[in-house]
Amino acid sequence: MGKRPLLVIALIVLILFVAWLRHPGQEKAVSRTALILGTLVEITAYGEDQDLLDAAVTGAFAEMQRLEKQLSSYLPDSEISRLNLSPDPIELSGETRALISRGEEIARLSDGAFEMGLGGVKALWQIESEQPHIPTDAELQPAVSGLGPGDIVIQGSLIGRRSPEVLVDLGGIAKGYAADRALEVLKEAGVTSATINAGGDIAMLGSHNGKPWRIGIQHPRHQDQILLTLEVTDQAVVTSGDYERFFERDGVRYHHIFDPASGRPARLCQSVTILAGDAESADALATAVFVMGPETGLALIEGLPDVEGLIVTADGQLLKSAGLPWRD
């Protein structure tokens, strides 16, 4: 064979290779939404095999539904509702016990700002209902007096409450855990690139076309404005804010993140965004830092490895942790 045909073949191979590099297979995306955990959940998976993506997304939603049944305080048959109805410690699944134990760790880290026994306080305010109520100090006192270290009693495989007024509510952590679990289901099904957005708790698997995911963080007072963009790979970004679930009365905003010391909405931040390796930690830390406020909250973030944060203070200042991967 002469040199020319070889050159032609080499050229064709090169052209095909460049074409493949630009379009490696046909990337598809399967994206679906569903109302779970009282919020809109969107799961998007990327890959080449449509059937695999479809089945994986179906499995991920099923996992979140399973966890809602188990962990919701809105459902009378859930493990949490059984715990809240029982005067004595009861046996819960190892999964629920482990989640509560990890929540207790965040409670310790945050000096009690994160508090899973706030169900009684939440019930008094009814922030999420059509008719919210501003409780008096006398109404709040019994609901907050029993809170603090040891209010949720873990004895071997049993979990109980120190007093009947302590009502367990996992609203500050379970959404993140459910997102982590759903991502795990996608991974086990063979998905390598995906996002789960559970009402502002965003968990990400891998990267997107080899590039980081770009997550715009909303301005807490101007819904159409983006504060900044985070560039994230294989991590979770969770925001707790006073602008999603709130009501206003006489010009005062009342929202759903409570200071366990007073039983009233925490007043030191407008929003807190946490970037962490998993959505559960990010979820719980966002709630905790929101209550702690900018100063001690930022110190907590800076003291934790692989955790970054963005805080919008009550007067609208923007505080970023040192390693936050942001751009305009």
Query: Which residues in this chain contact Mg ion in the complex, by CB under 5 A?
Result: 172, 240, 283, 286-287
Q: How far is the CB of 173 from ligand FAD (least distance, A)?
A: 7
Residue 170 contacts which entry, Mg ion, ligand FAD, none (Cβ below 5-8 A, type-dependent): ligand FAD
- When asked if residue 287 is in the footprint of ligand FAD (CB under 6 A), the reply is yes
- Give the gyration radius of the chain's Cα atoms: 23
Length of the chain: 328
d(CA 205, CA 193): 5
* Cβ within 8 Å of residue 67, ≥6 positions away: 174, 177, 178, 181
d(CA 220, CA 243): 6
Q: How far is the CB of 147 from Mg ion (least distance, A)?
A: 17
- When asked if residue 247 is in the footprint of ligand FAD (CB under 6 A), the reply is no
Q: Which residue has the tokens 């501003």?
A: 134
With respect to Mg ion, which residue has the nearer C-beta, 271 or 321?
Answer: 271
- When asked if residue 174 is in the footprint of ligand FAD (CB under 6 A), the reply is yes
Q: Which residue has the tokens 């407008």?
A: 270
Residue 200 contacts which entry, ligand FAD, Mg ion, none (Cβ below 5-8 A, type-dependent): ligand FAD
- When asked if residue 170 is in the footprint of ligand FAD (CB under 6 A), the reply is yes
Question: One symbol per residue from 45 to 74: x for binding ligand FAD (CB under 6 A), - otherwise; what is it?
Answer: -----------------------x--xx-x
CB atoms within 10 A of CB 307: 20
CB 276, CB 235: distance < 8 Å: yes
Q: How far is the CB of 39 from ligand FAD (least distance, A)?
A: 6
d(CA 291, CA 306): 21
CB 310, CB 228: distance < 8 Å: yes
With respect to ligand FAD, which residue has the nearer C-beta, 191 or 202?
Answer: 202
Note the residues at the interface with ligand FAD (CB under 6 A): 37-39, 68, 71-72, 74, 113-116, 118, 122, 128, 169-172, 174-175, 199-201, 240, 244-245, 256-258, 260, 283, 286-287, 291
